[in-house]
Structure formats: structure tokens, C-alpha cells
Amino acid sequence: MIRGDRIAITGVGETPFLRKGEEGVMKMMTRASLAAIADAGLTPKDIDGYISNKYAGHGSDEVAFAIGAGEKRFCATTDSVGGTATSGQALQLAQMAIEAGLARHVLVPYAIQSTKPGGVYGFHAREPQKAGIEMPVGFFGQPTYFATMANRYAHEYGMTEEEQASIPMTYRAWAVLTPGAQRRDPMDLEAYRQSPMISTPLRAADCCLTTDGGGAYVVSAIEEARDMPHPVVSVQGLGLGFNNWPQGVLFTQTPCTYDFPGEVSAKLAYAMAGCDPKDLDLAQIYDGFTISALVQTEMLGLCERGEGPRFYAAGHGMPGGRMPINTSGGHMSGGYVPGMNLLIEAVRQLRGQEGERQVPDAKLCAVAGLGGNNHSTTILARS
């Protein structure tokens, strides 16, 4: 059984998050990796393990070469999507490698070039069911898929426009306090309503950003971390949830289209960490869209099922609220490097490094990662 408090995230780093950048994925991964290694007080020669991401398009050989690394002793690739891969499964693989004695310091790099030709929806267009059945009726692209979930959720639980708007407004309030966030302009309800409608009821403000950027982190054994530069941020809990619905049918044929396996991953993570939602000081929640962030907020147990709209509208996730959420602006206002920038923010909050937006005395943070048919919950703690 995998146990908590055995590994720590000892270094984090990222590139600037840009609406359109000049650099490709490999260069951004290299820059982020070198920043994370330096943050850990290490050199590339110290890195002996790698967790690659199958959607990044570059494996550990390329990364190791690019950073000028030492001998590679372990490598693996995540077989999940989005935030699940970067903020969940990569940590699980890293822990397995470190506890087995196969690696000492494991690097997890990721970068995304959303502006690349083909765009972020290209992989959906290659699904036969989507090309054959859905695209001819105009049902295409994540905002459209998630819009249908939002309408169904509103039908079942109720959600006013003001309540829906309060979700991106919460994350934007944090982004205003975040120097590197892509969208720092304050957003009130009127500004939200000025955001262009994409697919009812989702406006552009309800969707994650388009980002060219990268991030990386270093994972080390907890004993090693105690001798490294920063306060120790350990992995206390880690849960992965999967269902077996392939991507081609995921957004239409599942019994409840927004029933991500988040309750499963949260239950596993809380059990491993020996805590429950009321123990958390803050949370980072994968906010591809308002509806998906809302549902995960409920799945993590931060509020009751069906009460997410009221939870956000009451300001509980805002600066000064009882459960700060997405404290660097999340993917909707901070930047969209799936899962990665959420995990980096969690680590820095637990170190106490976040200045104006620092959550006072933050000790325990949940990071939720969504990726199509899979979900991760990671509980990080300042040890």
C-alpha cells in the first residue's frame, strides 16, 4: 500500500505563461526543468529519474539531453490526461521509483503550446465517433461539451447566472494578486457579462485560458528533503480515480456526463493522508471550465453535492474566505499548463512564499486534477 509522508516536492519552476509565446514545447520544458532543479538546490547531474507525459510529445531522453543531466536510472510515462497526469499520476510513479530505490531525485516536466496549429481540440477531431457522429451536427470542442454538462447540472441542482459567474470571479480575484497571472484585470459581474458567449451557458470567462507555457517539479525522498533549501512539502495523500469510458463516448454516453471519478480519488487521498476536507487550509482545483471546477469542489467535500453554486456565490473560495481556492488564478485566470501550475502554487503556498496572496499559516492543501475519464486528488502538507 502506498503511504503518505514518504516523498516531498523539493523544487518547482515554470516559464512565463503567455497568450502566444515564441518558444516551442521542448524549450519551455527545458527552461521550467532547469528552474525547478535550481529551486531544489540541485544540478541537472543530480536528476536520475523522469516522469514524462505522453501528451507533451517529448520523452525523457530529449529532456535529459536538453538539461545536460547525469545518468538516468528510471523513466516512466503517465497514461492519463490533463491534471490527473501532472498533479496525480506522475507523483504516484515518482513515489514508486523512489521507494523502490530506483531513483533519488525525479523530474516531472510538462509544457503546452496551445497556439500550435491544430490547437487544443485536435486530438478530439481524430476520434472516429466525434468525426463520424458529433462534428457533423456542430458538437465539437471542450467548451461545447462542458456547456451541455452545465445545463444538465443546472437542471438537476439549480444554478443562476450570478452563481455561475461567482466561480471565475473567485479565481480572478486571486489572479489580481498574482504577478505572473495571464489575466489580472479585476472581473465583477458586469465584466463577466461582457465576456463573449461561446456555447450557452459558458462564456469565454468560464473557460480556461489559452497558454503557451511550461512547468516542472522535482520529487525527492522525504529524508533527502529535510536537507534541501526549502521547508519540506510532502505528499500526504494521493488518490487516482478512473472510469473505462473512452474519450470518444465520454461527453455523451456516460450515465451522468459530469460524474467525473473525483469522489473516488478524493476518498483514497483523504484515507491515505488520514484527514478530511475540514482539515484543509486551501485547495487548487482543475478549472478547465466553471462546471468542472464546481463539480470537483463538491467531490472534494468542500461543500455538499449540489451546493457548489451557493458555496462560490457566498465567497468562500475568495481571498479571505474560509476555503481559498485556486490562489494563483487557476487555469481560468492564471494560466493553463494542465495541473502543473496548480501543483506549483500549492507547493509555494505551503512554503509560505506567496506574499500578498499568501494564505496565512497554510499547512494542508488539496490539488484536484481532472483529465477526461480520470481524476486525481493529491494532499500536500508542510511537514
Partner 1 sequence: MGIPIYPPKIEDPLFQGYYDGLEAGELRITADAGTGEWIWYPPEVIPGKPDAVLEWRPVSPEGSAYTFTTVIRSLLPGDHKAEVPFTVVMFEPDDAPGVRVPGLLVGAEGVEPRCGMRLRFQPVQAGDHKIAGFAPVGVMKE
Q: Is 200 in the site for partner 1 (CB under 8 A)?
A: yes
Q: Please report, as residue ranges, which positions from 150 to 189 form the binding site for partner 1 (by CB under 8 A).
A: 151-152, 155
* CB-CB contact of 112 with 214 (8 Å): yes
Residues 2, 38, 96, 133: which binds partner 1 (CB under 8 A)? 133
Does 210 interact with partner 1 (rule: CB under 8 A)? no
Q: Which residues, 95 to 124, sit near partner 1 by CB under 8 A?
A: 121
Q: Which stretch binds partner 1 (CB under 8 A): 79-87, 93-101, 244-252, 368-376?
A: 244-252
Neighbours of 356 (CB within 10 A): 9
Alpha helices in the chain (DSSP H): 25-39, 60-67, 82-84, 90-99, 122-125, 128-129, 142-157, 161-175, 189-194, 222-225, 262-273, 290-299, 308-313, 340-351
Among 61, 253, 274, 304, binds partner 1 (CB under 8 A): 253
Among 252, 307, 315, 383, binds partner 1 (CB under 8 A): 252
Q: How far apart are CA 290 and CA 271, in angstroms?
A: 27
Tell me if 134 contacts partner 1 by CB under 8 A.
yes
CB of 376 to partner 1, least distance (A): 25
144 touches partner 1 by CB under 8 A: yes
Judged by phi (left if over 0) then psi (alpha if -120 to 50, else beta), residue 5 lies in left
Q: Is 199 in the site for partner 1 (CB under 8 A)?
A: yes
Member of 83, 141, 168, 262 binding partner 1 (CB under 8 A)? 141
Query: Taking CB under 8 A as the rule, does residue 372 contact partner 1?
Result: no
Residue 8's SS3 state is strand
Positions marked active-site: 286, 336
Q: How far is the CB of 292 from partner 1 (least distance, A)?
A: 15
Q: Which residue has the cell 456547456?
A: 147
Residues 88 and 265 sit within 8 Å (Cβ to Cβ) = yes
CA distance 146 to 2: 33
Q: Which is nearer to partner 1, 67 or 149 (CB)?
A: 149
SS3 assignment, position 49: strand
- Among residues 36, 111, 149, 291, the one that binds partner 1 under rule CB under 8 A: 149
Q: Count of residues binding partner 1 (CB under 8 A)?
A: 37
